[in-house]
Amino acid sequence: MVFMQSLTLESATEKSVVWPRLLPRLHVKAFTGGVIVLVFIVIGIIGPSIAPFDPNKQELTAMMKPPAGIGASHSLGTDNLGRDILSRIIHGSRVSLLVAFAVVFVSGFIGIALGAISGYFGGKVDFLIQKLVEVIWAFPPLLLGITIMAFLGQGLFNLILALVVQRWIPYCRVVRGQTLSLRNRDFVTAAQCLGASNRQIITRHIIPNLIQTSLVIGTFAMASSIIAEASLSFLGVGVPPEIPTWGTMLADARIYISTAWWLPLFPGLCIFVTVLGINLLGDALRDLLDPRLKRTGAKI
Amino acid sequence: MTSYLFQRLAGTLPVLLLISFLVFSLIHAAPGDPTLLLLGEETNAAEIARAKERWGLDQPLYVQYLKFLRAAAAGDFGKSFKYAEPVINVIKTRLPATIELAVFAIIIASLLAIPLGVWAGAKPNSWIDNLGTTFGLFGISMPSFWLAIMLILLLAGVLNLLPTSGRSTYGIAGPEQTGFYLFDSVVQKNWPAVWDGLTHIFLPALALGMNMLGILMRVTRSSILEVMNEDYIQTARAKGLREKNVVWRHVTSNALIPVITVVGLELGTLLSGSIIVETVFAWPGSGSLLITALNARDYPLVTGIVMTYTLAFVAINLIIDGLYAVVDPRIRY
């Protein structure tokens, strides 16, 4: 718990020591990651207006066209139904990122709230929440998602739900640990003496101290959500096939691997580059906020 | 130590019970009627009723659950709807393929990641460190199924070097003994079959292991970096040992403890990763079996596989906790 404690309050002093040494490498990481993520977010937002074609429009005269190059009409080629790959990728980025953001925010909200409650109150509440954490954590990742999706059926909302079920756990665990030490700090005691309610203490004094670490967990949760969404869609239990996402595009491409290389290449490349960007950003953020996590190689 | 393990074991039981309930209720609430899927749309109501009675689907859910629980405690997960065989037997025939794949994935990942991590950690900020770190980052960012597709495309499609599906070429294998195909072939001294098996397992194992490779490489590197600053390393250097000996004998042996932990922890991810990689490579393991069973709404089989995977995951975590104490004598329970 000692390191958790220092993580929040000493980070201000740590920063001045760490900055000069890490600056160049951090800059490269943060910059590259930031640019990649920003580009995909912008594409996701303005996507529909820059996509050259309707992503679901089937053009039977232009089926399976190989990539024509920049500037041509189907620059990344078309699929087995004559749909434009570039347009589908652009629309797909919107859905993929939307799912990932939703998962990160909802699971962050649940995880931080339950973690703070668990750590602050302790006792029976803590015991129950930690048992829940233990049970969910006992499932191999992805397997729970597959099982839930098979039960709920395909759909965006269901998918977000299935991913959230496991992704609030890391937040909850780390936040609980931090809250346990924050609870006994002087500023909490002071607030209690001044008559603040438990709710006020948690929302005003505890949670603001947890934001930095949660941000780091959030970036890694985002990366894993994108991959998980694609994996589930690829297996046919994620996003419904009529919505273009990178995962459903890969699922469609599976049977044409040997005949049309461009079908699996581009959507997969998008997943890879986006996740790489988020991981770079997460790494940089973690190095900046807590050099200790980097040194111990802790995987969140 | 023993009492601690017993305590952990006892603590695992309610968790397993809850999991079994969760899985059971999830699967039974799923849309889609298994009888319709199996018997076809044209079957009449009487036949459906008879099938439901045979499979016990006409009873209330809690009765079904209690029955399931009592049987499961004795290792009996019922009969598969699709294969008309006890679930445990169906899983038994497919599990060795998955274990074999996972073992090879770990071997490939460790063989590449540990030396690379040691090298990178021993020379921070050198070209090898930059290369290794970039490689590690690529490894953790790569979706395994996309890597699998790309490997098929490149090594099998364009270069035509390796087979892309199944465990072996038809007719080359000897009689099955343990189900571990490569192990059997080695025991039978069937060398063409061993080579054939290795060519089949290489691509799926690489695709499955890439993620672990990335994580292992990063953990090894940071662990080495940490140990390099210890006093006893200074002592080793002061003794006049060559840098190579310092790194490989003194640093590495001390730095590998977290690495072993990560190998164990990543086994769970590997298990679930195998579901997707097996599907891409048509690998006849329990992962691809799960997808088949899900699509057929084969309740007993799905429950059996999910429970097997979960049990394996829980057991692995338990073993790692025990291993901590063995590997690091400073830890006492």
The pLDDT tens digits along chain B (333 residues) read 677 777 777 777 777 788 788 777 776 766 666 666 666 666 777 777 777 777 677 777 788 888 878 887 777 887 887 888 888 899 988 999 999 999 999 999 999 999 999 888 888 878 888 888 888 999 999 998 899 988 888 887 777 777 777 777 777 777 777 778 788 888 888 888 888 888 889 999 999 999 999 999 988 998 888 888 888 888 888 888 888 888 888 888 778 777 877 887 787 778 878 899 999 888 999 999 998 888 887 878 888 888 888 888 888 877 877 776 666 666 555
Measure the CA–CA gap between A77 and B333, rounded to whole angstroms: 61
| Chain B residue closest in CA terms to A257 | B153
Residues A139, B140: C-beta atoms closer than 8 Å: no
> Which one of A138, A272, A299 has the shortest CB-CB distance to B143?
A272
Q: Phi and psi of A97, rounded to 5°?
A: -70, -35
Q: What is the pLDDT of residue A109?
A: 95
For residue range B226-240, what is the model confidence (pLDDT) as tens digits? 888 888 888 888 888
Option in B137, B138, B222 nearest A295 (CB): B222
Please tell me which of the candidates A147, A231, A258 has its beta carbon nearest to residue B145. Answer: A231
pLDDT tens track for B104-115: 999 999 999 999
pTM: 0.84
Cβ neighbour number for residue B278 with a 10 Å cutoff: 25
Taking a contact as any Cβ pair under 8 Å apart, which residues of chain B between 271 and 310 contact chain A? 271-273, 275-276, 279-280, 290-291, 294-295, 302, 306, 309-310
Closest CA to A226 of A60, A75, A40, A50: A40
Contacting residues of B for A235, CB less than 8 Å apart: 275-276, 279, 291
A231 at interface of B, judged by CB pairs closer than 8 A: yes
Separation in Å, CA of B175 to nearest CA in chain A:
32
Residues of A in contact with B310 (CB under 8 A): 138-140, 143
Closest chain A residue to the Cα of B130, Cα to Cα: A25
Q: How far is A203 from chain B (nearest CA, A)?
A: 32
Identify the closest residue of chain B to A132 by CA–CA distance: B15
Res. A26 pLDDT band, cuts 50 70 90: low
User: Which of A142, A150, A223 lies at the smallest CB-CB distance from B30?
Assistant: A150
Q: How far is A234 from chain B (nearest CA, A)?
A: 8
What does each C-alpha distance from B56 to A126, B76, B252, B303 come to in angstroms? 40, 15, 58, 15
Please, is A170 exposed, middle or buried when counting C-beta atoms within 10 Å of its C-beta (0-12, 13-18, 19+)? Answer: buried
On the question of pLDDT at A11 being above 50, the answer is no
**Per-residue pLDDT, B34:** 64
Chain B, nearest residue to A133 by Cα: B15
Nearest-CA distance from B236 to chain A in Å?
A: 22
Residue A161 touches chain B, beta carbons under 8 Å = no
A245 and A68 Cβ atoms separated by less than 8 Å = no
Average pLDDT over residues A43-69: 78
Q: Which residue has the higher pLDDT, A13 or A250?
A: A250
CA–CA min distance B165, chain A (Å): 13
3-state secondary structure of B79: strand
Asked if residue A22 has pLDDT above 80, the reply is: no
* pLDDT score of B25: 77
Percent residues over pLDDT 70 in chain A:
87
Instruction: Return d(Cα A2, Cα B141) in angstroms, integer.
Output: 31
Q: A12 CB near a chain B CB, below 8 Å?
A: no
**Residue B309 is nearest to which of A131, A140, A271, comparing CB atoms?**
A140
CB contact burial A268-293 (16+ within 10 A = b; e otherwise):
bebbbebbbbbbbbbbbbbbbbbbeb
CA nearest to B294 within chain A: A150
CB contact under 8 A, A135 and B18: yes
Q: What is the DSSP string of B256-317?
A: HHHHHHHHHHHHHHHHHHHHHHHHHHT--SHHHHHHHHHHTT-HHHHHHHHHHHHHHHHHHH
- Residue A2 pLDDT: 37
How far away is chain A from the Cα of B2, in angstroms, using its nearest Cα? 22
Whether A158 shows a pLDDT value over 70: the answer reads yes
Q: Which residues contact B183 (CB under 8 A, 6 or more apart)?
A: B100
Taking 60 as the threshold, does the pLDDT of residue A9 lie above it? no
